[in-house]
Amino acid sequence: MHYTLRNKLPSTALFTTVDAVLNWGRLSSLWYLLFGTACCAIELMQTGGPRADLDRFGAVFRSSPRQSDLLIVAGTVTYKMASRIKRLYEQMADPKYVISMGSCSNCGGLFDLGYSVLRGIDKVIPVDVYVPGCPPRPEALTQGLLVLQEKIRKQRYLAREA
């Protein structure tokens, strides 16, 4: 940058792109829906707790889908529950993201042979990140969140769709 221009600007100015600012804001405040369907929800609580501390990445739970950016599908999903999860997803405001946590919501997992079990939440709603494990440890879910943040960092909202 030319030094004369720099001298004319206040010292607090930063130069960036709109995409980068939007993405930075979005990935730094991934509020997730307080929602669990089975035992993965216990690990989800651990991940939100003080030791794994998801808060340090800007992810805190919200009790309402209207205020949430992220849906963590934590646990086995039955056909009966699938329609409820779809409704919760539709109630969330854009931009919204989904992490499928654990084998059950990835593909049916341990309960794959059950008559009532949905074989993968991706049959109902789109999924951004799959976290394997039965259940995944808090470190794994944290890693999943970081992967999602990297994904958001690369998004381009203002680009014209090809």
Of 6 and 123, the one with the shorter C-beta distance to another protein is 123
The residues pairing with 130 across neighbouring beta strands, listed in sequence order, are 100
Q: How many CB atoms lie within 10 A of CB 19?
A: 15
- Under the rule (CB under 8 A), what is the footprint of another protein? 79-80, 82-83, 107-108, 112-113, 115-116, 118-119, 123-124
Distance (Å, rounded) from C-alpha 39 to C-alpha 55? 21
Cβ of residue 35: shortest distance to another protein, in angstroms? 20
Q: Specify the residue, 82 or 140, whose C-beta has the smaller distance to another protein.
A: 82
Nearest to 30 by CA among 52, 61, 53, 51: 61
79 vs 157, beta carbon nearer another protein: 79
Task: Give me the least distance between CB of 123 and another protein, in Å please.
Answer: 5
- Residue 126 Cβ vs another protein, minimum distance, rounded to whole Å: 14
Q: Minimum distance between the CB of residue 41 and another protein, rounded to whole angstroms?
A: 19
DSSP H helices, the chain, are: 3-8, 18-27, 40-48, 79-91, 102-107, 138-153
Nearer to another protein, 15 or 115 (CB): 115
**Rounded to the nearest whole angstrom, what is the least distance from the CB of residue 79 to another protein in the complex?**
5
The dihedral built from the CA positions of residue 124, 128, 132 and 137, taken in this order, carries a sign that is negative
How far apart CA 69 and CA 87 sit, in angstroms, is 15
Residue with Cβ nearer another protein (123 or 153):
123
CA 6 to chain centre: 39
